[in-house]
Structure 1
Amino acid sequence: MNMMKQAGRIRPALLALAMSTAFAAPAEAGERESLEQLRSTTVGLIEALVQEGILSKEKAEGLIRKAEQARQAPASAANPEEVSTPAVAGAVGAQGDSNVVRVQYVPEFVKQQLRADIEKDVMAKLNYHVEEERLKLPGWLDRITFEGDVRLRYEPDRFSGRNLEELRYGTYVNRQAMIPNTQDDQNRYRVRARFGINAKLSDTFTAGIRMTTGHMDNPLSPNQSIEIRQSKLDWGLDRVFITAKPYSWLTATAGRFANPFFSTDMVWDRSLAFDGAAVTFTPKFNGGMSAFGTIGAFPIDQVRTNSVNKAKDKWFLGAQAGFEWVSPNHSSIKAGIALYDFKNVEGIQNNVDGFDSRYNATVMPYRQKGNNTFDVMQNGRSSCGTVTIPGTTFLGYSGDGCGLASEFQVLNLTGQVDLATFDPVHVILQGDYARNIGFDQKEILRRTNTLFEEENEAYQVKLTVGMPEMKHRHDWQAFIAYKRIEADAVMDAFTDSDFNLGGTNAKGTILGGSYGLDENTWFTARWYSTREVSGLPLSIDVFLFDLTARF
Structure 2
Amino acid sequence: MKSIKLRGVCAAVSGALLFGFGANAMADSTVDIVNALVSKGVLTEEEGNLLTKGREGEKLGQEKAMKSAGKIKISDVVDSATLYGDIRARYEFRNGEDTASNGEDRSRGRYKLTLGVKTEAGDFYSDLALSMGKNGRSDNATFGAAADGSNGSNTKEAVYVKRAMLGWKATDWLKIEAGRVANPLYTTSMVWDADLTFEGLVEKVDFKTGSINWFGNFAQSQYRGDRQDFYNIDTSSERKTNTVLAFQGGAKFDITDTVSAKAAVTYTTYTSDNGTGTGAFVPGLGTGTGVAGTWGTNVTSTNDIRTIEIPAELGFKLANNMKLNVFGDYVVNLDGDDRFDAAVAAATAGTARNTIRAAGNDDKAWLVGVGLEQKQDKNPKKGDWSAKLWYQDVGVYALDPNAVDSDFMDSKVNLKGVVFKGEYLVRDNVFLNLAAGHATRKNDRLAATGAGDINLNLDSYNLYQLDVTYKF
| TM-score of the two chains, using structure 1 as the length reference | 0.63
Q: 1:41, 1:292 → 2: CA distance?
A: 57
For residue 193 of structure 1, what is the aligned residue in structure 2? 113
Paired position in structure 1 for 2:323: 426
1:49-448 matched pairs, under 5 angstroms: 49=57, 139=76, 143-160=80-97, 163-164=99-100, 183-202=103-122, 204-214=123-133, 216=134, 218-227=135-144, 229-286=153-210, 288-302=211-225, 303-306=227-230, 307=235, 309-310=237-238, 312-326=240-254, 329=257, 331-349=259-277, 372-373=282-283, 390=291, 404=301, 406-422=303-319, 424-441=321-338, 443-444=341-342, 448=346
2:335 aligns to what SS in structure 1?
A: coil
Matched residues in 1 for 2:380 and 2:175: separation? 27
Are residues 340 and 137 of structure 1, via their aligned partners in 2, closer, same or farther at CA, if it must alter by over 3 Å? closer
AA of the residue aligned to 1:415 = A
Give the superposition deviation at 1:421: 3.4
Higher strand fraction (1 or 2): 2
- Native 8 Å contact 1:276 1:296 kept in 2: yes
Q: Work out the CA distance in 2 between the residues paired with 1:300 and 1:212.
A: 20
Q: Are the aligned partners of 1:321 and 1:337 in contact in 2 as well (CA < 8 Å)?
A: yes
Contact 2:369 2:390 in 1 (8 A): yes
| 1:130-186 deviation line (CA, Å, top 9, x unaligned) | xxxxxx9954575111111111110111224x5436xxxxxxxxxxxxxxxx62211
Once the two structures are superposed, residues 99-122 of structure 1 have per-residue CA deviations (whole angstroms, 9 ceiling, x without a partner) of xxxxxxxxxxxxxxxxxxxxxxxx
Calculate percent identity across the aligned residue pairs. Answer: 20
Unaligned runs of 5+ in 2: 1-20, 29-40, 66-72, 145-151, 348-352, 448-457
Consecutive unaligned residues of structure 1, counting only runs of 5 or more, are 1-5, 14-32, 55-122, 127-135, 166-181, 351-361, 364-370, 375-383
1:507: how far off? 0.5
Compared CA separation, residues 36 and 471, structure 1 to 2 (3 A): same
TM-fit CA distance, 1:235: 0.9
Correspondences of 1:37-52 after superposition (within 5 Å)? 40-41=48-49, 43-49=51-57
- Report the number of matched residues: 391
Question: Helix, strand or coil for the counterpart of 2:55?
Answer: helix
**Partner of residue 385 from structure 2, selected from 468, 476, 481:** 476
| SS at structure 1 position matched to 2:277 | coil
Larger Rg: 1
Displacement of 1:440: 2.0
What letter matches 1:273 in structure 2?
T
Residue 398 of structure 2 aligns with which residue?
489
Measure, in 2, the Cα distance between the counterparts of 1:446 and 1:504.
Answer: 17
For the pair 1:456 / 2:363, whether they are aligned, the reply is: yes
Distance 1:38 1:429 in 2: 66
Closer, same or farther in 2 for the Cα pair 1:395/1:234, shift >3 Å?
A: farther
Cα deviation per residue 1:224-281 (whole Å; 9 max; x = unaligned)?
1111545111210010011111222111111111111111111111110111111111
| 3-state DSSP of counterpart to 1:404 | coil
Distance 1:337 1:229 in 2: 50
Q: Distance in 2 between matches of 1:268 and 1:401?
A: 20
Relative to 1, partners in 2 of residues 1:405 and 1:272: Cα closer, same or farther, differing over 3 Å?
Answer: closer
- CA 1:207–1:470 in 2, change beyond 3 Å: closer, same or farther? closer
User: Could you tell me whether the CA contact under 8 Å between 1:341 and 1:410 is conserved in 2?
Assistant: yes
2:261–2:315 Cα contact (<8 Å) kept: yes
Aligned to 2:418: 509
The answer on whether the counterparts of 2:265 and 2:310 sit within 8 Å (CA) in structure 1 is yes
CA contact (8 A) 1:433 1:458 kept: yes
Shift in Å, 1:328: 7.8
1:52 is displaced (CA, Å) by 8.0
Contact 2:272/2:303 (CA < 8 Å) preserved in 1? no
Q: Per-residue deviation at 1:534?
A: 1.1
**What is the aligned-residue RMSD (CA, Å)?**
3.6
Mapped contact 1:213–1:235 kept (Cα < 8 A)? yes
SS in 2 for 1:207: strand
Cα shift at 1:329: 4.8
| Per-residue deviation, 1:424 | 2.5
Superposition deviation, residue 327 in structure 1: 6.3
* Distance of 2:238 and 2:184 partners within structure 1: 32
Distance 2:288 2:141 in 1: 25
SS in 2 for 1:318: strand
Separation of aligned partners in 2, 1:163 and 1:500: 18
Report the Cα offset of residue 337 of structure 1.
0.4
Query: In the alignment, what sits opposite 1:58?
Result: none
Instruction: Tell me: CA distance 1:333–1:199, structure 2 relative to 1, closer, same or farther (3 Å).
Output: same
Give the distance between the partners of 2:79 and 2:428, measured in 1 at CA.
25
- The separation in 1 between residues aligned to 2:364 and 2:381, in whole angstroms, is 39
Instruction: Check the 8 A contact 1:405/1:444 in 2, yes or no.
Output: no
> C-alpha distance in 1, partners of 2:346/2:426?
54
Question: 1:53/1:333 Cα in 2 relative to 1: closer, same or farther (>3 Å)?
Answer: closer
Relative to structure 1, is the Cα distance of residues 445 and 466 closer, same or farther in structure 2, using a 3 angstrom cutoff? closer
Q: Distance in 1 between matches of 2:214 and 2:194?
A: 23
Deviation of the 1:335 alpha carbon: 0.4
- What SS does the corresponding residue of 1:499 show, helix, strand or coil? coil
Q: 1 CA distance for matches of 2:443 and 2:169?
A: 47
Change (3 A) 1:44 1:189: same
CA contact (8 A) 1:405 1:448 kept: no
Q: Given the two structures, how large is their TM-score scaled by the length of structure 2?
A: 0.73
Q: C-alpha displacement at 1:43, in angstroms?
A: 3.7
Match of 1:547 in 2: 468
The residue identity in structure 2 corresponding to 1:212 is: S
SS in 2 for 1:153: strand
